[in-house]
Amino acid sequence: MIDSILLVDDEDLFHLVFEDACSLLDMTLSLEALNSSDEADKLFKQWFEEGPIDERPECVFVDLNIIGSSFDGIELIRKINNDYGNGVVIGIISSSDDNQEIEKAKAVGAQFWIIKSDEIEPRLEDFLNDYSGYEKKTAPFKVYK
Amino acid sequence: MINGKDTVEEALRKAKAKKVYLEGNFVKLLAKSLPTDVKAYTEECKERDTKARKKRLEVNKRVQSQNKELEEAAVVKEALVLELQNALDDAEKLRDEAVEDLDLMQKRTQFELIGLIVRVALIIIVGVGVTTTLLYTTAMLADKDTTILGNAWSNLFGILLTNSFSIIGTIMGVKYATEKNG
């Protein structure tokens, strides 16, 4: 089980879907969802500069295109990995399967890419099976289709 | 009512008696080593929570899928509206061109008709003039009485000249007016 998860996605309905899917799969007991990359950026900056660092989530799922935000999911991952001390399992959860975007995400340190679909649970289950590898940074980048 | 001094077990028993079921991840935090009756209640809570979540997940997925369909339909609709607008613009352009062509054709027909009238009028004028002149000349050369013929010739020639100028004037007027409007 993952200690805590943060979801950054502009779609409220997906927050509910993700929360229920996580609960049914016993993925975590603590799930927080944010609507914009700016909010997430602010939180990570605060945790990095002022602490406490252990308040940071263990795993972060970021949407690729977050409407109403100043920057996209890839930029948020870059910021978290380069500017705010890294240390979290982080990746993209998006309906897009654009190879160029996937490569960009990989380049900034995303560890996984989950494609959103009606059947999200099997993908999350596969992700959960690989999770220890992501935690130890030994698992290679993977796209969950 | 559950009081602050109640233990977790007592609180759970009271909730069970009132048929109030716990929901969410909190149920998962409850210790597994609870007395049998309370454990049965928490298990039921878990079961109910799972059922409710499954149902909610299905409903949300359906709504999400319908939203997606609506978004796609909106994109298609927008493309259709754009296509219709373009078709309407093209149709209006074609209509304008057709009206212009029709106008041009009408003008050409008018000019052709005017040309025909002018030709016929000139033929009649010249024909009558030539015939009368020939008759008059023949009468003069044959030393016949030319009083009536002379008067008729001069009258006819006067009328013909006046009319021919009138026709030319009308034609010039029509042509000038047409050119100005066109």
pLDDT tens per residue, range B100-133: 999 999 888 888 888 888 788 878 878 888 888 8
Q: What is the pLDDT of residues B15-68, one digit of tens each?
A: 888 888 888 888 888 777 777 888 888 888 888 888 998 998 999 989 988 998
Gap from A20 CA to chain B (nearest CA, Å): 6
Segment A86-106 mean pLDDT: 93
Segment A70-98 mean pLDDT: 92
Which of B22, B25, B26, B58 would you mutate first to test chain A, the one with the most A CBs within 10 A?
Answer: B25
- CA dihedral angle for residue A49, residue A51, residue A53, residue A57, rounded to 10 degrees: -90
**In chain A, whose CA is at the least distance from the CA of B65?**
A118
For residue B29, the chain A residues in CB contact (below 8 A) are 29
> Any CB–CB contact under 8 A between A70 and chain B?
no
Is CATH 3.40.50.2300 the right assignment for the domain spanning A5-144? yes
Of A13, A24, A30, the CB nearest to B64: A13
> Any CB–CB contact under 8 A between A17 and chain B?
yes
Position B108 scores a pLDDT of 86
The string of DSSP letters for chain A reads -BS-EEEE-S-HHHHHHHHHHHHHTT-BS-EEEES-HHHHHHHHHHHHHT--GGGS-SEEEE-SS-TTSSS-HHHHHHIIIIIS---SEEEEEES---HHHHHHHHHTT--EEEE--S-HHHHHHHHHHHHHHHHTT-SPPEEE-
More confident site: B108 or B83: B83
For residue B61, the chain A residues in CB contact (below 8 A) are 17, 118
> Any CB–CB contact under 8 A between B51 and chain A?
no
Q: How confident is the model at residue B135 (pLDDT cuts 50, 70, 90)?
A: confident
pLDDT at A55 over 70: yes
- ipTM field: 0.76
pLDDT at A143 over 90: yes
Q: What residue segments make up the domains of chain B, in order of their start?
A: 8-181
Gap from B102 CA to chain A (nearest CA, Å): 55
Tell whether omega for the bond before A52 is within 30 degrees of 0, i.e. cis: yes
Q: What residue segments make up the domains of chain A, in order of their start?
A: 5-144
Gap from B47 CA to chain A (nearest CA, Å): 11
Gap from A32 CA to chain B (nearest CA, Å): 13
> Any CB–CB contact under 8 A between A26 and chain B?
yes
Which of A17-26, B90-99, B150-159 has the highest average model confidence (pLDDT)?
Answer: B90-99
**In chain B, whose CA is at the least distance from the CA of A24?**
B50
Spatial distance between the Cα atoms of B96 and B119, rounded to a whole number of angstroms: 35
User: How many CB atoms neighbour CB B42 within 10 A?
Assistant: 20
Gap from B1 CA to chain A (nearest CA, Å): 27
High-pLDDT (> 70) share of chain A, % = 100
> Any CB–CB contact under 8 A between B177 and chain A?
no
For residue B28, the chain A residues in CB contact (below 8 A) are 26, 29
Three-state DSSP state, B106: helix
